[in-house]
Structure 1
Amino acid sequence: MTIRVAIVDDQALVRSGFAMVLSIEDDIEVVGQAADGAQAVELLTSTPADVVLMDVQMPVLDGIAATERIVAAGSAKVIILTTFDREDYLFAALRAGASGFLLKNADPDDLVAAIRAVADGHALLSPEVTVKVIARLASGTDPVPGAPGPPSRATNGAATHRAAAPDSDAARAVQSLTARERDVLTLLAEGYSNAEIATELFVGESTVKTHVSHVLAKVGARDRVQAVVFAHRAGIVGAGD
């Protein structure tokens, strides 16, 4: 299957660079480019795409607002690309429904892998992003509004590697998981990819995909990002790390 990609950035040189990187991949086709968020929204009304690479700071309509419109319309999945390692961009992107978040200085191989993962229905949650999400949980701030369970209480300025106190709703949802589903959720929350989970549990990757789907449905998570938030709220991972 060919993955159709649209590139959105207000710098023509950046767009050309990404297009060049992707042009050598047999399973990826760049189907369109846009210089701002408004152009991106308009582009996707006439040009189907599977994944959009979206800059943040752009004229007319910024990348976060454009992402919200694109996701709401079901036009495509969005990976936010930015030169700024800022938490406000990260969490705004997650709230807008982005499926991934990468810095522009990421390796080309990481960009290609991210596109394939998002096109395959996964959220791109790198260990670095996981740490930022956990930090918000530890401070008692809801990192991704709409994620399963209410915000946890603050934990006296807890360090990023400590889990927030488990909440009762999340704890009850855990009871619906099988032992293997709980194993999958634990590894998922620790940043493992499907392939890595399959290796760890000695099962096929297709089996892992099935388990992940069941986990998301049972805990009421939209994607892997919300599943990670859930795992920490439920106390499945994080304590004593």
Structure 2
Amino acid sequence: MKIKVIIADDNPFVREGMRIILTTFDEIEVLASVQDGQEAVDFCRQNEVDVALLDVQMPNMNGVEATKLIAEQTGTKALILTTFDDEAFILDAISSGAKGYLLKNNDPERIRDAIITIYNGHNVLQDAVLDKLKSSLLADKDKDKKMDRGSKIDRSLFTDREYDIMSLIAKGLSNREISKKLFISEGTIANHITSILGKKSLTHRTQIAIYFLTGEVD
């Protein structure tokens, strides 16, 4: 069964180009392409859509606002696909329920893989976006102080192994990279991550990174 997708972008050339590209993949069926967030929300309300690709800046309703409504009112999963890597957009999108945040300069295969990953219940945040987010979170307004990573979280909630895994997630490492660094299996890491998420009522690893760096849960 194909993954049902819609594309929301106010640039008609981007919409048509993305539609053409995605229809070349056997796993994906493009149901529609729309020009703003409101049209995306309306379509997802009225149709069964698996993944909605949303630009950030669109007329009538932007992609972040559309993401929030889509997440709250439909079973569709939102993937932000944009040229904007501003940390404010990234944080707003994630807190609004976006399951992924990619930049448009990715290869078509990377976008396809992200759609499949999100469809299968996982989250996607490319390295460049995570690096941008981390840089913003680590920028201390007080120039006389430096943020002590992990110092603001409640250590009593977590085992030493969970703390180590959180610190490596905050550095942008994948499960495979963490596995090699800590000499434990990816399955064991996944179990630890599930435990961490449950302890703080989080939903994905990006929130773990934000929590570890700031001590805050959005």
For residues 151 and 96 of structure 2, the distance between their equivalents in structure 1, rounded to whole angstroms, comes to: 26
> Residue 115 of structure 1 aligns with which residue?
115
Q: Secondary structure at the match of 1:7?
A: strand
Q: Secondary structure at the match of 2:131?
A: helix
Check whether the contact 2:131–2:172 (CA below 8 A) recurs between aligned residues: no
Q: Secondary structure at the match of 2:45?
A: helix
For residues 31 and 208 of structure 1, the distance between their equivalents in structure 2, rounded to whole angstroms, comes to: 37
Pair 1:230 & 2:215 matched: no
Deviates more, 1:39-48 or 1:104-113: 104-113
- Aligned AA for 2:151? P
- 1:176 Cα shift? 3.3
What percentage of residue pairs aligned between the two structures are identical? 35
> Residue 211 of structure 1 aligns with which residue?
192
- Aligned AA for 1:7? I
For residues 30 and 180 of structure 2, the distance between their equivalents in structure 1, rounded to whole angstroms, comes to: 32
> Residue 96 of structure 1 aligns with which residue?
96
- Aligned AA for 1:92? D
For residues 200 and 90 of structure 2, the distance between their equivalents in structure 1, rounded to whole angstroms, comes to: 23
Pair 1:156 & 2:143 matched: yes
> Residue 80 of structure 1 aligns with which residue?
80
Pair 1:186 & 2:173 matched: no
* TM-score under structure 1 length normalisation: 0.74
For residues 3 and 186 of structure 2, the distance between their equivalents in structure 1, rounded to whole angstroms, comes to: 20
- 1:54 Cα shift? 0.1
1:183-240: per-residue Cα shift (whole Å, max 9, x none)?
4333322223345445555666555443322221113323222110122236xxxxxx
> Residue 238 of structure 1 aligns with which residue?
none
For residues 102 and 6 of structure 1, the distance between their equivalents in structure 2, rounded to whole angstroms, comes to: 16
1:103-151: per-residue Cα shift (whole Å, max 9, x none)?
21222222122222322333323332233323333345xxxxxxxxxxx
- 142, 148, 151: which is aligned to 1:166? 151
Check whether the contact 1:219–1:230 (CA below 8 A) recurs between aligned residues: no
For residues 202 and 17 of structure 2, the distance between their equivalents in structure 1, rounded to whole angstroms, comes to: 35
1:39-88: per-residue Cα shift (whole Å, max 9, x none)?
11111112222221101222222212111111222432212122234333
The alignment of Structure 1 onto Structure 2 pairs a total of residues equal to 215
When residues 222 and 45 of structure 1 are mapped into structure 2, their CA distance, relative to the original with a 3 A threshold, is: same
- 1:36 Cα shift? 1.3
Q: Which runs of 5+ in 1 are unaligned?
A: 141-153, 235-241
For residues 199 and 77 of structure 2, the distance between their equivalents in structure 1, rounded to whole angstroms, comes to: 23
When residues 45 and 201 of structure 1 are mapped into structure 2, their CA distance, relative to the original with a 3 A threshold, is: same
Taking the TM superposition and a 5 Å limit, the aligned residue runs for 1:23-172 are 23-139=23-139, 154-156=141-143, 163=148, 166-167=151-152, 170=153, 172=154
Deviates more, 1:89-98 or 1:44-53: 89-98
Q: Secondary structure at the match of 2:136?
A: helix
- 1:37 Cα shift? 1.0
Check whether the contact 1:81–1:101 (CA below 8 A) recurs between aligned residues: yes
- Aligned AA for 2:15? R
> Residue 237 of structure 1 aligns with which residue?
none
> Residue 151 of structure 1 aligns with which residue?
none
For residues 115 and 189 of structure 2, the distance between their equivalents in structure 1, rounded to whole angstroms, comes to: 20
Check whether the contact 1:6–1:31 (CA below 8 A) recurs between aligned residues: yes
For residues 100 and 157 of structure 2, the distance between their equivalents in structure 1, rounded to whole angstroms, comes to: 28
